Amino acid sequence: MIIIYLLTALMFIISIQQKIKLNLYIVLFLSLSFIYIFYSSDMLRYLNIQNPSIYEQLFLKYFPYVLTATISLYIRFTLENSKKEINNLKSKLGKLDDKIRRILELSSKVRKEKREIEKRLISEDKESLKIRESISEISNFNINKIENNILNYFLKVIPSAQMSFYKYEDSNYTYKYSTYENTRKTLPINLLEYMQKNKNPIQTSLDYKDMFKEKILISIKLNENKTYGLVIVEDLDFYDLNKITIKNLSYFVDLLSLQIQNVLIYEKQKATSFAYNDKNIYNLDFLNKMVIQELAMAKRHNINSSLISVSSSDFKNLDKTKEDKLFEEMEYIYNKVFRTTDILFYNHKNCDFIFLLPLTKISKVENILNKIDYINNLYHTSMKTIEINEDAKLIEIQNSLGIN
């Protein structure tokens, strides 16, 4: 009987050994099964049951083995399935790393082109200083900020100008805003046709003579065939309409076009990427996918997972320096306390952080909360836990996390 107990324990032990490959596990399992069945034939003699029926004989001989084998195989199946999911995640993370690398290479290329433009500006008149001041302002990845300040950037080059900005969208130029009142909201067709025919992004009244009353037409192009917008200078000081100003405007438009193109590519890459930033922190799209996956696992195999949400009013309205410090602190907590299979997300809508703990029941989360509680020394935080089990509903989890 002791041998039966030992064989049962041994079958459970080899089932949880992740380092044992599947082929070796099958060989060991079959070998143990053969030995188990061989020794289980002595079960009737050990129990000393007189004249058992055929059903009692089958039950006493084989039921312990069937029960042991079933539990052992279930444990192994769960581990193999988890290993497969982890490998899939590693593959996805590898693809994300590749996307981030391409973005960095693209940013490096844009910075190189920007430096070339800056070198040309340095050799020019003192007007180039105005453009360098604008360069520092547009060197960000916020397309709305750039668009809303386009005329302010041009005013640094031609401060006396009265101008308007029209954005090219839906195959038409749409009026956005102007530096003065009583500007017109629509453009004449002949002016638009003239800008489309001329490849030079800067056109002055010297070019089109008496065709239009506008002093300067500035076309912001993303490439040779794609236009982003049009800046029209209706009036400016006579002394600003000179060779140096026009040349500086040309350099600045080249730089602005490069930066806008870079921002649009960056936003597109970020929208299709799971990474929130350059740290081990991921965005809401990835969180949604993982919650759906863990919920399916819970309903199919009754394997629970847990979520920890860390929120604080101190996380909101931070400047760039304080925000970077916050992300560094959260990544430090993640690396120190959590497993490599756990994942950290940032909810930019509510400015809170979410930890996903796969294959972890809610009862085991309390110890982890105690370990990360010291963050309260830095911020006034509140934490809540959510269990993903077979009874959980996706919409309720999303509402609780504020990610729907």
Strand partners, 209: none
Extract the tokens encoding 14.
Answer: 């080899």
Listed in sequence order, the residues at least 6 apart from 147 whose beta carbon sits closer than 8 Å to its beta carbon are 167, 176, 229
Burial class (CB in 10 A: 0-12, 13-18, 19+), 353: buried
Q: What's the pLDDT score for residue 272?
A: 65
Burial class (CB in 10 A: 0-12, 13-18, 19+), 124: middle
Higher pLDDT, 69 or 401: 401
List, for residues 313-346, the tens digit of each pLDDT value: 988 888 888 888 899 898 888 988 998 889 999 9
Number of C-beta neighbours around residue 335 at 10 A: 11
Judged against a pLDDT cut of 90, whether residue 118 lies above it is answered with no
If pLDDT is split at 50, 70 and 90, which confidence band does 231 have? very high
If pLDDT is split at 50, 70 and 90, which confidence band does 177 have? very high
List, for residues 232-262, the tens digit of each pLDDT value: 999 888 777 777 788 888 888 888 888 888 7
User: Most confidently modeled of 103-107, 297-301, 385-389?
Assistant: 385-389
What are the domain boundaries of the chain? 2-83, 124-272, 276-401
Q: Give mean pLDDT, residues 263-284.
A: 73
Mean residue pLDDT of the chain comes to 80
Judged against a pLDDT cut of 90, whether residue 157 lies above it is answered with no
Judged against a pLDDT cut of 70, whether residue 116 lies above it is answered with no
What is the pTM (predicted TM-score) of this model? 0.46
Judged against a pLDDT cut of 70, whether residue 351 lies above it is answered with yes
Beta strand 162-169 with 172-178 is antiparallel
List, for residues 286-295, the tens digit of each pLDDT value: 898 889 988 9
Q: What's the pLDDT score for residue 310?
A: 93
Candidate from 29-33, 146-150, 336-340 with smallest mean pLDDT: 29-33
Angle formed by the axes of helices 243-272 and 54-122, to 10°? 180
How is domain 124-272 classified at the CATH fold level?
A: Beta-Lactamase (3.30.450)
Higher pLDDT, 129 or 170: 170
Extract the tokens encoding 329.
Answer: 């602190």
CATH class of 276-401: alpha beta
If pLDDT is split at 50, 70 and 90, which confidence band does 123 have? very low
Q: Give mean pLDDT, residues 38-63.
A: 62
Q: Give mean pLDDT, residues 53-72.
A: 68
In percent, how much of the chain has pLDDT > 70? Answer: 81
Q: Which of 243, 245, 274, 249 is nearest to 343 (CA)?
A: 274
CA 200, distance to chain mean position in Å, is: 39
List, for residues 254-270, the tens digit of each pLDDT value: 888 888 887 787 777 66
As a whole number of angstroms, the distance between CA 350 and CA 78 comes to 35
If pLDDT is split at 50, 70 and 90, which confidence band does 386 have? very high
List, for residues 306-317, the tens digit of each pLDDT value: 999 999 998 888
Judged against a pLDDT cut of 90, whether residue 62 lies above it is answered with no
Higher pLDDT, 204 or 8: 204
As a whole number of angstroms, the distance between CA 58 and CA 85 comes to 39
- Written as one letter, the residue type at 114 is K
Integer angstrom CA distances of residue 358 from 88, 303, 334, 340: 14, 9, 14, 11
